[in-house]
Structure 1
Amino acid sequence: MDATEAVAGLPAMVDSLAAQGFDTRPLVVAPPASPGQVDAVEEQLGRALPGSLRQVLTTVASRVEFAWYAPNDRTFPEPLDEIFSGELHWSLDALPKLMGAVRGWVTHAFPDPTHPYHGVWHDKLPFMDVGNGDFLALEVGREQEGRVVYLSHDNGEGHGHVMADSFEDLLVRWIPLACPGAEDVQWWPFCAESDGRIDPASPAGRRWTALLHLSAA
């Protein structure tokens, strides 16, 4: 599976979840952006986008909105018992605003790049806000440029955790699970013991996909 195939599977996934009684929100998959449109946003940001993000924006979709909520009476067994929703969203046009928000956190709350906790917030390009003050972001300007990292503003367990090795890698890993989260407590059970990345083939991942009949979506 690649990023194109992963995103192409979202409509069937939404239909499957809705048929099981989940509250699914309207799916948005906008056409890819032109290279010129990406160039214009890069100019606003003052830096180039990591290659994997640019690749998805120009070949898969410039904007995606996917979200669902479990029914109030639906509970899941441990270690999946903290899961109640799933979401994935990104937009080329939203990147400058997200970057401004993260820069605000850095300026006012996490200014010291040498501090273990503060430093995680530095040299990051956010592409998705979690809605609680946290972000999903890509590392920039470092040897591991492009890795997907979770930014927590309140000592969350996932702070600084590498969820995937690139934006495309995140889509391939997370979408088959229907993107539980995006709060760290919801995707944490799917992180592999070997490298910490989200792994849909992990024991928790296999159990989850069976519970939600995702393999058939």
Structure 2
Amino acid sequence: MNATVAVGRLSEILDSLAAQGFDTRPLVVDSPASPGEVDAVEGQLGCKLPTSLRHCLTTVASRVEFAWFAPAEHTFPGPFREIFSGNLCWSLNGLPDLMTAVRGWVDDVFPDPSDSYDRVWHHKLPFMEVGNGDYLALDLDDDAHGRVVYLSHDDGEGHGRTMATSFEDLLIRWIPLACPGAEDWQWLPFCARSDGGLDPSSAIAREWTALVRLKSGPLAVEGL
């Protein structure tokens, strides 16, 4: 599975969940951006986008909005009890505002790069706001460039967790699960013990996809 195929499954996933009574929001998948449009946003950001994000923006979609919510009275069993929604979104034009917001957190709350917690917020490019003050971001440090990292503002268990090796890898790992979250406590059950990243082929992932009646597909994920 590649990122294009993964994004192509979003509509099917929403249709399946809607048929089961879930609250699904209209899917938005905008046309890919031109290289020039990406260059212009990089100029606003003052940094180059990681290769995988740039590739997705120019070949898959410049903006995606995907969201669902479980019925209010519904409670999933066992390890899935904390899950109540799924969410995935990104927008090329929204990146500068997200970067400004995260830089504000760094300046005002997490300014010390020598502090292990603060350091996670530094040198990151956010691409998705979780909604509770947390963010999904791409690492800009040379030794982990492009990895998807969770930024928690309030000691969340997922703070600093690498969810995937790249933006495209995140789509390949997360979409087959219907993107539970994006709060960390919703997706943490699907993280592999071996590499820490989301594992859509694990036993618990297979249990989840059967529970919410998601069709499985071929998976090929990179090691973290």
TM-score (norm 2): 0.95
Aligned with 1:105: secondary structure?
helix
The CA deviation at 1:112 is 0.4
**How many Å separate the matches in 2 of 1:139 and 1:119?**
11
The runs of 5 or more residues in structure 2 that have no matched partner are 218-224
Aligned to 1:105: 105
Return the alpha-carbon distance in structure 2 between the equivalents of residues 141 and 74 of structure 1: 41
1:215 Cα deviation from its structure 2 partner: 1.1
Q: Name the amino acid aligned to 2:158.
A: G
Tell me how far apart the structure 2 counterparts of residues 33 and 23 of structure 1 sit (CA, whole Å). Answer: 30
Q: What is the CA-CA distance between 1:142 and the residue it aligns to?
A: 2.1
Q: CA deviation at 1:78?
A: 1.5
What per-residue deviation string (whole Å, max 9, x for no partner) do you get for residues 155-196 of structure 1? 000000000000000000000000000000000000001101
Runs of 4+ in 1 over 3 A off after TM superposition: none
> For structure 1, which segment, 25-34 or 198-207, has the greater mean C-alpha deviation from structure 2 after superposition?
198-207
**Residue 216 of structure 1, CA deviation:** 6.4
Check 1:38–1:75 CA distance in 2 against 1; reply closer, same or farther (3 A cut).
Answer: same
What residue number does 2:115 align with? 115
- Residue 73 of structure 1 deviates from its aligned partner by 2.1
The 3-state SS of whatever aligns with 2:137 is: strand
How many angstroms apart in 1 are the aligned matches of 2:119 and 2:5?
35
Instruction: Tell me how far apart the structure 2 counterparts of residues 65 and 114 of structure 1 sit (CA, whole Å).
Output: 36
Letter in structure 2 aligned against 1:202: S
Structure 1 position 25 matched with structure 2 position 25: yes
1:90 is matched with: 90
RMSD: 0.9
Cα displacement (A) at 1:141? 3.0
The unaligned stretches of length 5 or more in structure 1 are: none
1:36-185 matches, within 5 Å, as 36-185=36-185
1-structure distance, mates of 2:98, 2:52: 18
Q: Give the drift of 1:203.
A: 1.6
For 2:163, give the aligned amino acid.
M
Aligned to 1:16: 16
- Contact 2:176–2:216 (CA<8 Å) still a contact in 1? no
Q: Which moved more, 1:72-81 or 1:166-175?
A: 72-81
> SS where residue 75 of structure 2 aligns?
coil
CA contact (8 A) 2:209 2:216 kept: no
Instruction: Measure how far apart 1:32 and its partner are.
Output: 0.2
| Helix, strand or coil at the partner of 1:79 | helix
CA distance in 2 between counterparts of 1:202 and 1:77 reads: 17
